[in-house]
Amino acid sequence: MDASRTPFPTLIMTGRLFLLLATLAIFHAAYSTYEHLSHLKALGRPGGSLPQSIILETLVGLVLGILGASLNAPELKEITWASEMQKHKIDEMDSRLGFASFVTRGRNILSSSSKSSAKEIQ
């Protein structure tokens, strides 16, 4: 990505940094949870609640991930009818190919069963 073309290259870099920190925080929280539960299992205690530090670390990772994804997202595109019509010609939009029927009934009319039923009617 060219830095001269992007409006705010520092925001994109900050977004990527937030995503990296969020990933590291979530992985560390998962490892800490595993260690905590294996420690409780070794002591023979039933599983209790997680320590507040692990919960806080997970929430911080979640917030950093949301911020990083928001800052790293591409620029929004205009989705109005006027912006769509700038990309297409009127002939493309007004051709109405959706109403065209390419299925014919010739196979049904010319089949042998329809010929025999027509002879029975006469």
Of 56, 52, 66, the closest CA to residue 23 belongs to 66
Q: Could you give the angle at the alpha carbon of 115 between the alpha carbons of 111 and 117, nearest 5°? A: 115
Backbone Cα Rg of the chain: 32
Give the list of residues 6+ apart from residue 63 with CB closer than 8 angstroms, or none. 22
Tally of domains in the chain: 1
Per-residue model confidence as pLDDT tens digits over 28-61: 999 999 999 999 999 988 778 899 999 999 999 9
Is 2 within a domain?
no
Instruction: In whole angstroms, give the CA distance from residue 7 to residue 104.
Output: 55
Structural domain that includes position 70? 9-121
Per-residue model confidence as pLDDT tens digits over 73-84: 888 888 887 887
pTM of the model: 0.59
Average pLDDT of the segment spanning 107-117: 63
Which has more confidence, 28 or 88? Answer: 28
Give the three-state DSSP class for 16.
helix
Task: Please give the share of the chain, as a percent, with pLDDT higher than 90.
Answer: 39
Is 55 within a domain?
yes
Is 4 within a domain?
no
